[in-house]
Amino acid sequence: MSELQIVNADKLLYQTMPETEFIVDEILPVGLHLFCGASKVGKSWLMLDLCIKVSKGEPIWDLQTHQCDVLYFSLEDRYQRLQQRLQKLTDEIDSRLHFTIAAKTLQSGFIVDLQECLKKYPNTRLVIIDTLQKIRRTSNDMSYSTDYQDISILKNFADNNNLAIILVHHLRKQEDNDVFNMISGTTGIMGSADTTFVLKKKQEMTQLQRLVLLVEM
């Protein structure tokens, strides 16, 4: 039986730790991130633009990106649609950007397949899964425990492989003063993520929420 790994506080206080690595300076570090929005609000367009910018090492929102291979699970699209969107967003693309439109669920081998992808493309640092629901386990159990467990699997994979993983997810239609309460599912989904982004149309927001992008770190 393995023993608990204990670290003394006096050692931890003075230990030199590696700096946080960012894929996009200031807003997208290595780790697990939720990117949530209502249907047809532009989530996939924004994620594709992010993929393009990171794969080419170009700035996005006036923030520097760190060029790397990018893997985009575009699970609600066809390749024809992806091609059309690419043609509207860029005239030139880099071979560092990779797509797939099909994936297994977490209970049927998704993590194993993702690990194999990393072996094929070892310079991958950004993975986008669009949408989270497509890889969720097929179960009638919608409890906090189930949500937290699913997200934790992906969180652990991101940490262990030094990746940034973005999970594209939906909002409920029911409005709430706290936009994070509109995230579909239980609080277990947001509870295991490092960062949560919520995309809303500007005209839908209150005077105190005059940002297109809300972030909870």
- CATH number for the domain harbouring residue 42: 3.40.50.300
In a domain, 69, yes or no: yes
Q: Residue 204 pLDDT > 60, yes or no?
A: no
**What per-residue confidence (pLDDT) applies to 212?**
37
**What per-residue confidence (pLDDT) applies to 203?**
61
Residues 13-22, mean pLDDT to the nearest whole number:
92
For residue range 142-186, list pLDDT tens digits in order.
788 889 999 999 999 999 999 999 999 999 888 888 888 889 988
Residues 12-21, mean pLDDT to the nearest whole number:
92
**What per-residue confidence (pLDDT) applies to 40?**
87
In a domain, 93, yes or no: yes
Residue ranges making up the domain that contains 47: 28-216
Residue the block writes with tokens 């949408």: 131
In a domain, 188, yes or no: yes
In a domain, 15, yes or no: no
Percent of the chain at pLDDT > 90 equals 71
User: Which residues make Cβ contacts (< 8 Å) with residue 72, sequence separation at least 6?
Assistant: 47, 48, 51, 97, 98, 99, 100, 127, 128, 130
- What is the spatial distance between Cα 64 and Cα 136, in angstroms, rounded to a whole number? 32
**What per-residue confidence (pLDDT) applies to 217?**
40
In a domain, 166, yes or no: yes
Answering whether pTM is above 0.85, one says yes
Question: 161: which 2 tokens?
Answer: 């492989």
**What per-residue confidence (pLDDT) applies to 176?**
84
**What per-residue confidence (pLDDT) applies to 1?**
66
Q: Residue 78 pLDDT > 70, yes or no?
A: yes
In a domain, 4, yes or no: no
Q: Residue 9: count other Cβ atoms within 10 Å of its Cβ.
A: 6
- What is the spatial distance between Cα 77 and Cα 80, in angstroms, rounded to a whole number? 8
In a domain, 57, yes or no: yes
Number of domains observed in the structure of the chain: 1
In a domain, 200, yes or no: yes
**What per-residue confidence (pLDDT) applies to 175?**
84
- What is the spatial distance between Cα 122 and Cα 114, in angstroms, rounded to a whole number? 11
- What is the spatial distance between Cα 116 and Cα 96, in angstroms, rounded to a whole number? 16
- What is the spatial distance between Cα 142 and Cα 182, in angstroms, rounded to a whole number? 16
